[in-house]
Structure formats: C-alpha cells, structure tokens
Structure 1
Amino acid sequence: MSRLTAFAAGVIGTLVTLTLAACGDDSGGGDGRASATPSAASSTASAAAPSPSAARPGGGTRIGGPKTGVTLTLPSGWRQVDPTKDSSPVVRTSFGFDDEMGELVRQLTTQQIEQGVVFAIDGSAASGFAPHLSAGCDRGGAVGASLEQLKAKQKALEPTSRITDVTVGGKPAFRAAYDSTKKSGPVSGLTVRVPLSADRFCYVDIESRQGAMPPEADRIAASLTLA
C-alpha cells in the first residue's frame, strides 16, 4: 500500500522498512509511504501500462490502472504529477525534493514510478507544502502484510494514528488519520491499507500541512478500488 505519498513519510521510516525487508526478502519491499514515502510494487503486478487519466462525471479524474494495482478518483482541482519531472517549487517542496535527503527521495520515487505508483497534488496550491498523494501496491517484506501486521507498522511509524476498519473491493482494510512532524514540518496524514496476501498490500497515502487536510481527501480515500 503507492507516501508510501506523504512525502518523505519520514525517509527515516522508509529506510527502516527497506532495511527490514532486505533482511527477509532480497526482492525488496517496504511501506507505501514515500510521499508520503517511496515504495516498490510487487514484481507480480501486471506489466500493462497504467490506464490514461480519464475525466469522470462530476469533474473527477480517474488515475491508476493494472500496473498500479489500484485506481482512484481525483476531485476537480487535483492533478496527477510525475515529481521527478515537474520542477515547480510547490511539487518539489511537497514531495520532499528540496530537503537534505532530496536526492534519495528522487531515486526512490523513480523506482516507484517505474513500478506503477502514481502521484497527485492539489493544484489550487501555488506554493509551499500542498496536499498531495501517492497510491499503488507494495511488498510487506520482513514485517509482513496481514491486516494486523500493517496496523502494527502504521502505529509504529505514526503513533498518533486513529485507525478504522473499512473494506475495499470486498477485502478487509483499514483507514488511518494521523498528525506528525516531518522534515518539512508538522503534517496531517490520511492513509488506506488493503492486504492482498501475506506479503502484498495496496494503499493510498495523502498528506498536507497539519490542520490543512482538504475535505476532498475523504472522497479520494473512499474512491480507492483494486485494479
């Protein structure tokens, strides 16, 4: 679950997860938080390219597809971005490319994009740290990807998490809202995690400045479906 967007969901958290995954699975894996935090989609994901963004009734845009593993609807005003190619200050700041770990974040984000993870940002923000997201699928690595294991990881990475059980595509999942302090400053986060197997899960991660999570975030999270 692709941080995992939101952006360096602590790069520290990502590094810890990658280290754990390396101990138990040489194929990599970790947590979807990149954006929230960079993640790697399963090597078993479809090789098909993600479906092109398509306008939806009511002004929304559907993003994701088979390679991503999930689809979700962006509300009007949000736009899909490639943070490695968009040099606008608001994108660079929001996805963590301007801090001291910016180059590491770029490398991990490049890996995510190659494996289907999608990124989007609230286009109404012209500067600063804008609400943004990442969505895709990931491996559980050494920690595992059962519902309880993912909940435990969430609480370990974000101790303030308020976790609620939900379903996505008929599968048990959870939603968590949290407040945290990252390199970029205080943030608010919203994440959904959907276990697919003992070692694979899908996710959407949304982050904003603390106290500035837009109301559209709830609709985005609720629109998550498995591709």
Structure 2
Amino acid sequence: MVLPFSNMSEDITKAIDLLRQSLSLDEARSPTLAALAWGLVMASPLGARTSLDAATEALGLACRAVEQDGTDAFAHAVYGFPLFGPAGDNDQGRIHAIEAVRLNPSSAFAWGTLGMIDSMAGDYENALACLHRSLVLSPYDSMLHLWMTGLTASCFALGRHEDGIAWARKSVQHNPGNGTGHRMLAANLVAAGRLEEAREITRRRDATQKTTIRDLRAMRFFKQDDALARYLSAQQVAGVAD
C-alpha cells in the first residue's frame, strides 16, 4: 500500500486528516496505521506543516502496525524508515526494511525503502541496486521522486556526479516540491564544476523554501561523516546560507 501523494502539501495534509478519521473508526487496521505513519514521515519533505512530535508519532504508529500484523510488508518498510532516520536506530531500521523485501519481493516500496536506508547509511552500491529494482518494479510509481533522490545521493557519494545530476533532474521533474532533490542537484552540479548552474538552483529553491547549512546538517541525510562533509561543503559553494 502506497499513498498516492502529489507534490502539493495540501494533498498530503488532507490524506493525513482522512487517515486519522479512518483510524478513529478502527484502530486495529495495520494498513491504516502504516499509511498514517508514512504520511507523517513525508509531510515535512513535501512542504506540509507538521507538529513537533510528528516523527515520534509516526514511529509509534508504524510500531503498532507491525505489532498488529507482522506479515504486512508495507508496515515493516514504513517502520524501518523512521527507525533509521529520526530515531537513529540504524541497524533495527534496516532489519525491518529487509523483512519487508522478504515478505513481498515484488514490492517496489519495500525495495525503495531499503535502498533509501542504504543510501543514507553508506552502502551506496547496494542502494543503487535496490532503488533501480524499485523503478523496474513500478516505473510509474507516485514515490519515484523519493527513490530518485536516493539514487542521486548515492551517485554524489560515489563521485558519479553526471549520473547524480541526471537522477536529480528526474526527481524534481516528478515532484517540483522535492527540496532534497533540488539540494542534491546543486551538490552534484558543484562537484561537476558547474557552479553557476548550482547557484541558480539554490536561488530558485531558496525562494520557495530557504534551508540553511545548519538545517541540512541537522537533517543529516548522509550518516557517514565524510559524505556529509562533502555534501555540506558543496551546498556552501552553491550559496546555501550558514
């Protein structure tokens, strides 16, 4: 199960409201719990306003979803994401993503989630393999922008900057509101020596959603210190404010 979000923050806000209503009628449905958790995870990246405890709530909802149905691949994949990210439990997050793939090897969402986790954790080659598999399984998926963000991030970390530029362009084409996609595009452009284009991307993105180096450091998309340092350095060159 994957929520059909567009790039509009209003859509995801409405989806969250509807899922909350559904959950109030039946609190024991694993798919609804997992879907609401995923909506809360994705709300901020898609530009929707969320509460300060949204990440904690998402983690709790996803945990309940797995407890309700341990055979639900979507629930395991969703649970792995906030475990790995906001909660910082990297190993356990990856375990749930792997379990999702085991339960449903045809799930593009499961492969995509595992690929994103590996992209952030530093297993970049495996991330590329998982994310490419996700694209093959569901080439018209509503989550393409996210999987492509993982691809461009992995390419940046591996020094394959032209490939990273190509994937980043596709990512923001699928979702113009994908802030991380724009930042990854700028980082790859800087690394490829295309500084003016990178600065223009930053100017356009800042006009929509200004993000500072401090914000990007706190977001810590790359868990490996060397990759994070290169990424932040590229953002500074591209014109992101401190």
In terms of fraction of residues, the more helix-rich structure is 2
TM-score by length of 1: 0.25
Q: Which protein shows a greater Rg? A: 2
TM-score by length of 2: 0.24
In terms of fraction of residues, the more strand-rich structure is 1
